[in-house]
Amino acid sequence: EAGVTQFPSHSVIEKGQTVTLRCDPISGHDNLYWYRRVMGKEIKFLLHFVKESKQDESGMPNNRFLAERTGGTYSTLKVQPAELEDSGVYFCASSLMEPNEKLFFGSGTQLSVL
Partner 1 sequence: GDSVTQMEGPVTLSEEAFLTINCTYTATGYPSLFWYVQYPGEGLQLLLKATKADDKGSNKGFEATYRKETTSFHLEKGSVQVSDSAVYFCALSKAAGNKLTFGGGTRVLVKP
Determine which residue in the list 1, 63, 71, 102 makes contact with partner 1, applying CB under 8 A.
Answer: 102
Check binding of 88 to partner 1 (CB under 8 A).
no
Residue 111 contacts partner 1 per CB under 8 A: no
Contact 33, 93 (CB under 8 A): yes
Q: How many residues does the chain have?
A: 114
Binding string to partner 1 for residues 20 to 59, with x set by CB under 8 A, is what?
-----------x-x-x-x--xxxxxx--x------xx---
Residue 65 or 91: the one with the smaller Cβ distance to partner 1 is 91
